[in-house]
Amino acid sequence: MSNYRKSMIGNHKLHPETQMMGYGYDPQLSEGALKPPVFMTSTFVFENAQAGKKFFELAYGKREASEGEETGLIYSRINNPDLQVLEDRLALWEDAEKCLTFSSGMAAISTALWAYLRPGDVIVHSAPVYGGTEYLIRNILPMFGVKSVEFEAGGANPTLEPAIREAQKLGRVAVIYTETPANPTNDLVDIQACADMADAVSKHQGDRPVVMVDNTFLGPVWQHPLKFGADIVLYSLTKYVAGHSDVVAGAAVGSASALAPLQGFRTILGTMCDPMSGWLIMRSLETLKIRMEAAALNAAKVADHLKAHPKIGQVNYLGFLSDDDPTYPIYRDQCGSAGATFSFNVIGDEAAAFRVLDALQIIKLAVSLGGTESLMEHPYAMTHSDVPDDVKERLGITESMLRISVGIENADDLIADLDQALARI
Ligand SMILES: *Cc1c(COP(=O)(O)O)cnc(C)c1O
């Protein structure tokens, strides 16, 4: 194994945070440059015609790769060195065989669903899911004959099994899709239960539904869905992974066989990531762990402060789950941290919540999450504005709810900012 793909020193297995500085990149191929250059090129020159022919045979699956043979560089919609190194590094966090990067989280999610759903199929999904995903499932997939059934995140997921039974009546259950912790309620879904359900369905229908998990909130540092039986892990890299609120990108992680249909679709749909974004995300990966840890430490302090604040009602912070809560075992077994994004309710109505947002001095009023800076927003009127009001009420998304993505500033400064803003209620 060449030095740039090193994963062990003797019997010692290297950790991802170490490997982010060098894995998958051979300086000798780039004039000795310590860091990978940005390969701003649309196409690649073949050494000779025979080499070009062999690359295409492999890329289009016309023959199996021979021992040690890798797909040659052809064209940046198919592959690019920055994206290959980035994909190798992202896969390491989850001990996964393969990763594919996309132009956005929604590009990853829509390409994955399109690759696996056919007319007449049913997707079973947890609720709530990210607004764009919800729109895709509710409004776009039905145009192509795909039906959906939802189950509620939280409460030990008692609605999962009835949802599967209902879906089986409607057609072939092709995908079980979840997002956990759910946005903005932080309700949890038991990934292992979804995988077990996929096994049970496969006994009836022959083929097994593909289990997909949107792991944007806790992963890839704190939650590893593949270990709980998921087939494909999806990311908005825009959030914690890129982490500086300056890139939009996405990823899918899993086994080579689970990702093969996505790779084919990505090539034809053109939903791949671009080299410059890929390079920026590689830089971000070097600090991923320390950024997420710093944000989580801050979030714990901010959450504690809010919980004790007289103008605050419920705080939906995972660290506050009591051990008699039915979802506590999911949190204990599945999540490595309470994370750094959570929602809470102010005492009052929409106007009170808006007064707090408008008074913030350090924390920015913006949607998105997972950046170095703290952001706050109003889910009811902003990120979840499209969700029907009765569904919002059912899921506990109220007009007095605010969501905060805690960044890596000084926690005391954030608390001072929140205190002066809450004084406006
Ligand atoms: C932001 C987000 C997405 C969509 O990602 P984009 O990069 O904006 O396309 C999907 N899922 C979750 C949980 C997100 O937070």
Report DSSP letters for 43-94, one per residue: B---SSHHHHHHHHHHHTTSSPPPTT--PPP-BTTT--HHHHHHHHHHHHTT
What is the Å distance from ligand 1's center to 104 Cα? 8
133 CA: nearest ligand 1 atom: 10
With 70 as the cut, is the pLDDT of residue 170 above it? yes
Model pLDDT for residues 224-249, shown as the tens digit of each residue: 999 999 999 999 999 999 999 999 99
Nearest to 182 by CA among 149, 156, 152: 152
353's tokens:
């919540």
Does residue 105 line the site of ligand 1, with CB under 6 A? yes
Of 337 and 65, the one with more pLDDT: 337
What is the Å distance from ligand 1's center to 72 Cα? 31
Beta strand pairing call for 232-236 and 210-214: parallel
Q: 272 has which bridge partners?
A: 102
What is the Å distance from ligand 1's center to 27 Cα? 33
d(CA 112, CA 313): 39
Q: 108 has which bridge partners?
A: none
Amino acid identity for residue 15 in this structure: H
Does residue 216 line the site of ligand 1, with CB under 6 A? yes
44's tokens:
């690649």
Does residue 184 line the site of ligand 1, with CB under 6 A? no
Q: Which residues contact 42 (CB under 8 A, 6 or more apart)?
A: 75, 76
250 CA: nearest ligand 1 atom: 7
With 80 as the cut, is the pLDDT of residue 1 above it? no
What integer pLDDT is reported at residue 60 of this predicted model? Answer: 86
Nearest to 89 by CA among 208, 7, 164, 198: 7
Does residue 338 line the site of ligand 1, with CB under 6 A? no
301's tokens:
């302090």
Calculate the average pLDDT of the chain.
96
What integer pLDDT is reported at residue 324 of this predicted model? Answer: 94
- Domains observed in the chain: 81-285 (3.40.640.10), 289-422 (3.90.1150.10)
What integer pLDDT is reported at residue 275 of this predicted model? Answer: 97
Task: Report the nearest-CA residue for atom 2 of ligand 1.
Answer: 236
202's tokens:
């496969």
With 90 as the cut, is the pLDDT of residue 56 above it? yes
With 90 as the cut, is the pLDDT of residue 71 above it? no
What is the Å distance from ligand 1's center to 324 Cα? 31
Task: Report the nearest-CA residue for atom 1 of ligand 1.
Answer: 236
Model pLDDT for residues 125-155, shown as the tens digit of each residue: 999 999 999 999 999 999 999 999 999 998 7
Does residue 236 line the site of ligand 1, with CB under 6 A? yes
pLDDT interval class at 3 (50, 70, 90): confident
421: helix, coil or strand? helix
With 70 as the cut, is the pLDDT of residue 315 above it? yes
What is the Å distance from ligand 1's center to 65 Cα? 34
What is the Å distance from ligand 1's center to 245 Cα? 12
Hey, which of 51-65, 147-161, 319-333 has the most confident mean pLDDT?
319-333
Of 31 and 157, the one with more pLDDT: 31
Contact 401, 378 (CB under 8 A): yes
Sequence length of the chain is 425
Contact 363, 414 (CB under 8 A): yes
Task: Report the nearest-CA residue for atom 5 of ligand 1.
Answer: 105
Model pLDDT for residues 360-411, shown as the tens digit of each residue: 999 999 999 999 999 999 999 999 998 889 988 888 999 999 999 999 999 9
106 CA: nearest ligand 1 atom: 9
Instruction: Quickly list DSSP for 90-159.
Output: HHHTTT-SEEEEESSHHHHHHHHHHHH--TT-EEEEEES--HHHHHIIIIIGGGGT-EEEEEESSTT-TT
Q: How many CA atoms lie within 13 A of 348 on its CB side?
A: 16
Does residue 78 line the site of ligand 1, with CB under 6 A? no
Does residue 130 line the site of ligand 1, with CB under 6 A? yes
Does residue 191 line the site of ligand 1, with CB under 6 A? no
